[in-house]
């Protein structure tokens, strides 16, 4: 008999997305301007139309319901709500109330991210992530969001992947403002923690005034990080340094402060780290994939065991419930995603059996969206989106995920299961 893995009652199966990547029609953000600069985004793509979810959200909610999704993680476009400093648009708040209301009416639990990568252009012009005003500005926005939407949403995320944001924007220079300064990257990282702390307090205060019950956390991007050559001291040292600065710094600060009600995990892959004098811009660090490893369309190693490692490592530190807030694969042909889904969900189920309090899994993503500097080329969606017609077409992996969510179980050892070489487990 195969290994029968079950999920507890109340476990949330869902999907994740962010406003800029799927909504479209927002010219006021830093990314709207950045994407128009030559060479910034693959293929010259822009988020101008994205998936047109601004107008098609009811269609997408109905699609989630048909796929048996019990939760959806989405974000609020700050640049759409506060187009000028201190001027909050009531019509936009009404729109997001409609979006959350549609999810709730469909029996789908919303999880709202307040800050997901993008900034209003006026915030970017004031210094962006390095601005001393950022914690106050973000906490004001977060407070207004809870006041406007707190009766419709209980699960909130302050900031998505602060470590990745600081790295991409201020060290690797591939996101706005496209800087390459280790000092700036550290400063941005620290400023984002100050912003999270201010947001957490402001959101709970606003909820208390309105009589709302909310839970607030961060979506942490966590990777498995190992030295490429264990016998090389430099590789071990740089792997430990990368682990400390990328994985540990922000997440540990949040855990030590107690300023979280749940711990969000965004998990995608593993990095083998080599000390490399030729990679000074990246801190003399080169990230590699094991020879012969299965990789996604983006060349990322597919390493499901890493999700189990991350959960085991952070559960004792977090001391709060855990949600998988992102996990997914760029796979245009959908020939890897079914097995990817089953193998990662199996890691979650096994972690729960070991006593890790995992409450939900949000697959990245529902739709093929705008993937930042990679444009629309990577296809992360359970649902294919035609770039010309915007037609939505569920892939086979979407139907598999629906069966798993409906049954709340997977047969990890059965034909096509998590331990087989190809295919996907029947639910």
Q: Which residues are catalytic?
A: 326
SS3 state of residue 41: coil
Q: What is the CA radius of gyration of the chain?
A: 20
Handedness of CA 152, 156, 158, 161 (dihedral sign): negative
SS3 state of residue 359: strand
* Lookup: tokens for 382: 């359970």
Evaluate the omega torsion of the peptide bond into residue 177 and state whether it is cis, within 30 degrees of 0. Answer: yes
Residues with Cβ within 8 Å of 389's Cβ and at least 6 positions away in sequence, in order, are none
* Lookup: tokens for 46: 């822009």
Cα(370)–Cα(364) distance, integer angstroms: 12
| Chain centroid, CA 326 distance in Å | 4
Cα(58)–Cα(103) distance, integer angstroms: 9
Partners of residue 274 on adjacent β-strands: 286
Cβ atoms of residues 64 and 106 within 8 Å: yes
Cα(417)–Cα(349) distance, integer angstroms: 14
């Amino acid at each position: 008999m195969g290994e029968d893995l079950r999920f507890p009652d109340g476990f949330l199966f869902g999907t994740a997305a962010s406003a800029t990547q799927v909504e479209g029609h927002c010219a006021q953000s830093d990314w709207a301007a950045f994407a128009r600069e030559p060479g910034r985004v693959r293929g010259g793509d822009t988020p101008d139309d994205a998936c047109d979810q601004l107008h098609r959200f009811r269609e997408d909610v109905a699609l989630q319901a048909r796929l048996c999704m019990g939760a959806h993680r989405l974000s609020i476009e700050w640049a759409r709500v506060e187009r000028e400093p201190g001027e909050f648009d009531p019509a936009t708040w009404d729109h997001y109330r409609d979006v959350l209301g549609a999810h709730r009416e469909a029996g789908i639990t919303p999880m709202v991210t307040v800050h997901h990568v993008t900034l209003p252009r006026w915030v970017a012009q004031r210094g962006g992530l390095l601005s001393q005003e950022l914690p106050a500005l973000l906490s004001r926005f977060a407070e207004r969001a809870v006041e406007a939407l707190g009766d419709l949403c209980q699960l909130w995320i302050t900031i998505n992947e602060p470590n990745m944001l600081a790295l991409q924007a201020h060290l690797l220079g591939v996101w706005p403002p496209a800087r390459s300064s280790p000092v700036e990257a550290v400063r941005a990282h620290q400023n984002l923690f100050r912003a999270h702390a201010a947001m957490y307090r402001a959101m709970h205060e606003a909820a208390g005034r309105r009589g709302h019950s909310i839970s607030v956390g961060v979506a942490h991007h966590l990777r498995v990080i190992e030295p490429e050559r264990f016998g090389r001291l430099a590789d071990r040292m740089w792997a430990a340094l990368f682990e400390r600065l990328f994985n540990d710094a922000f997440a540990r600060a949040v855990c030590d402060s107690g300023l979280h009600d749940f711990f969000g995990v965004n998990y995608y892959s593993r990095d083998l780290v080599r000390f490399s004098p030729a990679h000074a811009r990246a801190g003399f660090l080169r990230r590699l994939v094991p020879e012969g490893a299965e990789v996604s369309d983006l060349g990322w190693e597919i390493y499901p065991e890493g999700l189990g490692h991350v959960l085991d490592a952070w559960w004792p530190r977090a001391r709060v419930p855990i949600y998988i807030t992102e996990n997914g694969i760029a796979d245009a042909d959908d020939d890897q995603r079914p097995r990817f889904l089953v193998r990662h969900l199996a890691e979650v189920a096994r972690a729960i059996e070991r006593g890790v309090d995992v409450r939900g899994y949000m697959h990245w993503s529902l739709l093929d969206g705008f993937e930042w500097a990679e444009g629309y080329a990577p296809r992360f969606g359970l649902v294919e989106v035609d770039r010309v017609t915007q037609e939505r077409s569920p892939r086979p992996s979407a139907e598999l995920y629906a069966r798993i969510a409906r049954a709340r179980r997977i047969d990890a050892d059965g034909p096509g299961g998590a331990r087989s070489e190809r295919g996907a487990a029947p639910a």
